[in-house]
Amino acid sequence: MRLSCAKLPWEGRMGPLSQAGKAASGGGVLSLTQEEQGRVRVRSPRHPAATEQGGSRLQLLITLLIVAAIILAAVRIIPVYVRSYEFEDAMRSQAKYAGVNNKSPRQIQQELHRKALELSLPLERKQISVTPAARGVRIAARYTVPIDLVVYTANFTFDFQADTGSVY
């Protein structure tokens, strides 16, 4: 019986029956007797991709964790921004129509505070500043919204200003 000893591309050397077989046969073919065939164990080498499979699973797990973290952050942060900019829109609207509606600064402040409560914003009435100006009113509000991101609590600060003159 003749066994071929081919060079394995990922090892860069001869296979398990390497040097002795090459010397004996003169070129990669080894002749073995029946007795020698019983003693020789030919092992098939593992392909390099088989050892990297665990690494690809770890990489997939890390990627999934990052994607989940991004989705969690987006689900918790985006609604806060939407509500805050809806409040800013209400401020601009109050400033725009302040001269037409003839509301006092206190009434405007109360309406904006009601809107902030409706939007579940952590804004107290004293944080809303409404001051009369030459051409209407000037409204300012500054507040911080804490957002729980499981491992970290982020504080987002919003500072909005609206003026009757700047609305037009």
DSSP secondary structure, the chain, as one string: -EEE-PEETTTTEE-TT-HHHHHHHTSSEEE--HHHHHH--PPPPPPHHHHHHHHHHHHHHHHHHHHHHHHHHHHHHHHHHHHHHHHHHHHHHHHHTHHHHT--HHHHHHHHHHHHHHTT----GGGEEEEEETTEEEEEEEEEEEEE-SS-EEEEEEEEEEEHHHH-
**Average pLDDT of adjacent 10-residue blocks, the chain of 168 residues:** 53 50 51 62 55 76 94 95 96 88 90 96 94 87 94 94 74
Tell me, yes or no, whether 90 lies in a domain.
yes
Asked if 116 and 93 sit in the same domain, the reply is: yes
Predicted TM-score of the model (pTM): 0.63
Asked if 74 and 151 sit in the same domain, the reply is: yes
Asked if 36 and 104 sit in the same domain, the reply is: no
Dihedral pair phi/psi, residue 156, rounded to 5°: -105, 125
Asked if 112 and 134 sit in the same domain, the reply is: yes
What is the count of structural domains for the chain? 2
Residues spanned by the domain of 15: 7-24+32-45
Contact 5, 14 (CB under 8 A): yes
pLDDT (0 to 100) of residue 103:
86
Asked if 129 and 154 sit in the same domain, the reply is: yes
pLDDT (0 to 100) of residue 168:
53
